[in-house]
Amino acid sequence: MLKNMEDNDALLTSAFINTLLTKHSNSSHPISKALIHTQNDTSFTQTLQSHIRNLRFNNSTTRKPLLIVVPTHVSHIQTAVISARTHNLHMKIRSGGHDYEGLSYTSSTETRFFLLDMQKLCSIDLDMATETAWAQTGATLGELYYKIAQNSKVHGFPAGVCPSVGVGGHFSGAGYGNMMRKYGLTVDHIVDAQLVNVEGRVLDRMSMGEDLFWAIRGGGGASFGVVLAYKINLVRIPETVTVFRVERTQEQNAVNDVVFRWQEVAPKLDEDLFIRMILDVVKSSQTGEKTLRASFVALFLGDSDRLISIMRNSFPEMGLRKSDCIETNWVQSIFFYSDIPMGTPEEYLLRRKPEKLVHLKRKSDYLKKPISKYGLNEIFKKMVELEYPALLFNPYGGRMAEIAPNATPFPHRLNLAKIQYVLNWEESGIEASCYYIGLMRKLYDHMTPYVSNNPRESYLNYRDLDLGINHHDWKTNNYRTANALGVSYFKENFGRLVEIKRRVDPTNFFRNEQSIPVISLEKLGSVHFLESRI
């Protein structure tokens, strides 16, 4: 049986490659065999692993693609789509590979698939006269930031602080960064796009229409096509910005008051100020016992004098001092947030691989109202008991609250904050993964009374398969899973995404474990998921 499967896979791979190389190849930009990596090639493993960022999916048991196609021209994408449809071969699309569940390069539902790896389609073209840029989706945020910094000291872009994240996934899932209270999300600054659709046609904003353009700015581009590039508006930033990191522990007796006050103040502060709060467990410097630590990491778009004035008036409980503040520029503030030594040359932004790879799991929640001091104390006790999971609170307010929840597919703008559950570990193997993921699930369950409900909201770019998997086989009637997933990620915007999906990809060619499904709105509307734990 296994031998027959391997023979069939080999035949399918050969037929697919032949179609790529001959019938649909563009004579001006032919696909060479060097851009196609099969499992028998020595280059296969290196190419596959080059953009795996979660070691949970870098092992012998992880399902691998039959082959990898690395396009260097848009015609290669068109050819890959047409050839895949011809041979009924499923396609995965990878840009930076930071997706937390590995959905862009592995599969838990498809037995035969290939990987379209966008890493070589990474050009970035700036037009400083119009303050815009075209960024191909295989580029990284670091490459985008480097290009901006080389051309201007007073321009930036409101996206994430991890330089090796890929533009494709970050933008299409409504990326955010530490300027979101001033400028909103990445998708709020996208003004055009190029996409290869299911028919292999290249579309821009005008030819794809406003519905599809709306969908790929936060609804996940891989549900609708292969996004080749995004056009963005740059934003103005001061030459001098200020960062700080202040830490408090339970043994200092003030952590509960400061954390409680952060919830009330952080979303209402001057929009130039973003203060992330991190809760984790450390060993006490005095007793060596486990204790809760609260860290406050900030970016202020201005100098330290104005920052100190704002903090004294609005958040004196933190006790920020001038000596806590570091004045720097925008690029160095990214290094600060990413725990990269300040003073590191800007060329470091071009580094595609993180310093260290780990096994990891992430989850997300949204905070709608402040957690009481009693509730915080209960959370602190649970975290100390579990020891390893951490919580990152990212404040909203400012520009985030000024944009309508249906302006883009991202619907969570009116919350106080987003919570990210963070857990990294170094041990390999299923047993270790089950242990650490189990700890995170316990903390997630413990947080249920304190976060959004009906639905319990989640952030698309923090993919979480605990929420469910779409098998895209409606004979099994998994409408409930599709609905619960969709409403958790998109709330009221899910219905519009489903309708767009049905129009632009009726055969559901572009799919993954949590993509937008092809399903009638009548059937979708008949599902009531409010009793779900999601």
Residue 520 phi, psi (nearest 5): -70, 145
Q: DSSP states of 163-202 as a string?
A: TTSBHHHHHHTT---TTHHHH--GGGGEEEEEEE-TTS-E
Token digits for 474? 């409606």
Residues 6+ apart with CB under 8 A from 22: none
Token digits for 311? 């903090």
Q: Give the dihedral sign, CA 77/515/353/426.
A: negative
Residues 6+ apart with CB under 8 A from 488: 455, 456, 457, 458, 467, 534
- The residues pairing with 463 across neighbouring beta strands, listed in sequence order, are none
Can the peptide bond before residue 455 be classed as cis, meaning omega within 30 degrees of 0?
Answer: yes
By CB atoms closer than 10 A (0-12, 13-18, 19+), residue 369 is exposed
Catalytic residue among 176, 183, 421, 462: 462
Q: DSSP states of 273-294 as a string?
A: EEEEEEEEEEE-TTT-SEEEEE
The answer to whether 105 and 52 have CB atoms below 8 angstroms apart is yes
Q: Are strands 113-117 and 67-69 parallel, antiparallel or unpaired?
A: parallel
What is the Cα–Cα distance from 360 to 357, expressed in whole angstroms?
Answer: 9
The answer to whether 447 and 392 have CB atoms below 8 angstroms apart is no
Q: DSSP states of 363-421 as a string?
A: EEEEE-SPPPHHHHHHHHHHHHHH-S-EEEEEE--GGGGGS-TTSSS---TTSSEEEEE
One-letter identity of residue 510: F
Q: Give the dihedral sign, CA 462/467/473/477.
A: negative
Q: How far is CA 218 from the centre of its chain?
A: 10
Residue 436 is among the residues annotated as catalytic for this protein: no
- Reduce the DSSP state of residue 110 to 3 states and report it: coil
Number of H helices, E strands in the chain: 15, 18
What is the Cα–Cα distance from 140 to 162, expressed in whole angstroms?
Answer: 9
Cite the active site residues.
462
